[in-house]
Amino acid sequence: MRLSTATLASGCILVVISSALAIATESKPRPFREYPGREYENFPLPPDYQEKTEWQFARLMYPPIAGGRGGGFGRRGGFRGGLNWKEGASSWTTDYPRADRHLSEALRRLTRVHVRSVEQPVDLDDGDDAYNYPWLYAVEVGHWALTDNQAVKMREFFDRGGFFMCDDFHGTNEWAVFIESMKKVFPDRDIVDLPDNEPIFHTVYDLNEKVQVPGAQYLRTGRTYEFDGYQAKWRGIYDGKGRVVVAICHNMDLGDSWEWADDPQYDAKFSAVSFRIAANYLIYSMTH
């Protein structure tokens, strides 16, 4: 088994399993690819985007609920991919790729993990490719609709040691949509509120204060909540060994805080805590 070491900002040395072997697959990762998103098209690539690294921000692609934001309303009124979610026409492209690349840059600074400068969209229908990425992120899961086959693939992802973080969904209705797909993946496991002493909150940084990180709508409304999601919910699903394998950020929008971290109008305190959350989740996923 190949191992590598990651040195955190604190100077602590951790041993981590390299991405390709973390969940035991022999298939090679798909090449880097880009899609038109809801907000961005032709986003500039960093010069080192082809560098081979030990970790990549893997963004989960998914089909939308019927009548949902499949066709979407990007900054230019739609998607070049038409109504095909596999070509970017789904809420999975929210904040993409700006949030992903800002977070990757931040993780390079906050940890010594060798992070790729660009994200990787991951399609559960794409053979065994999902197993190349020990950490998956999905945005706006209040609008997703996993197929039965995708749910089976995602459960296998967890059974092989994968970690999943979901974010940017709000209120009662979007929670119900999220649950419908997640129960296909984990019909046998409960979603619970994570306690303050949960190790995932203390892996690199001590996250003692649970801040409700708002989306960019906060700049217009002054509200940190959306719909009836008045309080941030830090929830998760544990595996049989007591490890968090699903980290659920409900009634908050970390993706927006990464996306707008370089905008002086967006409060730095929100981006600061969201980068720390991501650093904790990354190191936890690589060491548990």
- Tell me the residue range of the domain where 265 lies: 3-287
Show the DSSP H helices in the chain as ranges.
Answer: 19-22, 98-110, 148-159, 171-185, 218-221, 254-259, 268-287
**Total count of domains within the chain:** 1
pLDDT along the chain (288 residues), means of 10: 37 42 69 93 93 97 79 40 82 97 97 97 97 97 98 98 98 98 98 98 95 96 98 97 98 98 95 97 96
CA-based radius of gyration for the chain: 18
- How far from the centroid of its chain's Cα atoms is residue 97's Cα? 12
The residue count for the chain? 288
pLDDT (0 to 100) of residue 68: 60
pLDDT the model gives residue 24 = 57
**The pLDDT value given to residue 25:** 62
Domain holding 111: CATH number?
Answer: 3.40.50.12140
